[in-house]
Amino acid sequence: MAKKTKRLLGKKEIKNGIKKLAQKLNNDYCDTSPIFVCILKGAFMFLADLIRELDVPIRIDFLSVSSYGDSSRTSGVVKIIKDISIDIEGEDVLLVEDIVDTGLTLSYIFDFLKRKNPKSLKICALLEKKVRRTKKIKIDYRGFFVPNKYVIGYGLDFCEKYRNLPEIDTMEF
Ligand code: 5GP
C-alpha cells in the first residue's frame, strides 16, 4: 500500500534555498578551485542543481558510503563503498550531503577525508534535523532545517524509491 506523504519543500523553495547557498559559496571560494565531494546517493540532485548556480571553477568527486541501520535510523557504522579518485591533499574541499540527522555518517566521512590532509574541509548540507544529533559537527552551509520526520524526494529515498521526486515530502509510517 502507498505510504502517506506531506509536502515539506516545493520546487520554488528548494531553488531559492540553493541560490542563497550558491551566493555564499561563490563568495567564499572566489579565489580558489575547490573540490566538491558529493556523498552518494542522496546528494546527487542537490549537487547537480547547486553547481549550476556557481561561477567558481569547481572540481567534482563522489564518495559512496553505506550506513548500517534500519531504513529510518543510521547506526553510525559506515562503510566506504567507493572512495574519491582526486588527490585532495592541500586542496580546499567541500563535502556535499543531502541530510544530517544524528551526524554519525558525516562525522565518520569528515574524519576519513581529514586524514587525506586537505587544506580546508567544510560541509554543505541541503537539510538538517537538529533533534537526534549525537555527534557535534559544524555544518558550514545549510539549505534548510527540517522537522524530525522521515523525508523523501529530491535525491532522498525510502527503500531506494522516490529519489526522482522534484519536491521534498515527509513520509508517515
Ligand atoms: P545520520 O548519520 O546523520 O543520522 O544520517 C545521515 C544519513 O541517513 C543521510 O545521509 C541519509 O542517507 C540518511 N537519512 C537520515 N535522515 C533521513 C531522512 O529523513 N530521509 C532519508 N531518505 N534519509 C535519511
Give the domain CATH number at 38. 3.40.50.2020
CA angle in degrees (0–180, nearest 5) for 103-77-131: 25
125 within some domain = yes
91 within some domain = yes
160 within some domain = no
* CA-nearest residue, atom 8 of ligand 1: 74
167 within some domain = no
171 within some domain = no
**pLDDT single digits (tens) 3-27:** 799 999 999 999 999 999 999 999 9
Say how far apart CA 67 and CA 71 lie, in whole Å. Answer: 10
Q: Is the CB of 101 under 6 A from ligand 1?
A: yes
From the list 92, 98, 101, 169, the catalytic residue is 101
> Which ligand 1 atom minimizes the distance to the CA of 42?
12
99 within some domain = yes
Number of domains in the chain: 1
Say how far apart CA 127 and CA 170 lie, in whole Å. Answer: 12
Asked about 101 being catalytic, the answer comes back as yes
Q: Is the CB of 98 under 6 A from ligand 1?
A: yes
Residue 23: domain span: 11-151
CA 33–ligand 1 middle distance (angstroms): 29
Mean pLDDT, rounded, of the chain: 93
Say how far apart CA 77 and CA 96 lie, in whole Å. Answer: 20
Q: Digits of tens for pLDDT over the chain (173 positions)?
A: 567 999 999 999 999 999 999 999 999 999 999 999 999 999 999 999 999 999 999 999 999 998 766 656 666 678 899 999 999 999 999 999 999 999 999 999 999 999 999 999 999 999 999 888 888 899 999 999 999 999 999 999 999 999 999 999 999 88
For a pLDDT cut of 70, what percent of the chain falls above it?
94
Grid cell 529515498 is found at: 157
Q: Is the CB of 125 under 6 A from ligand 1?
A: no
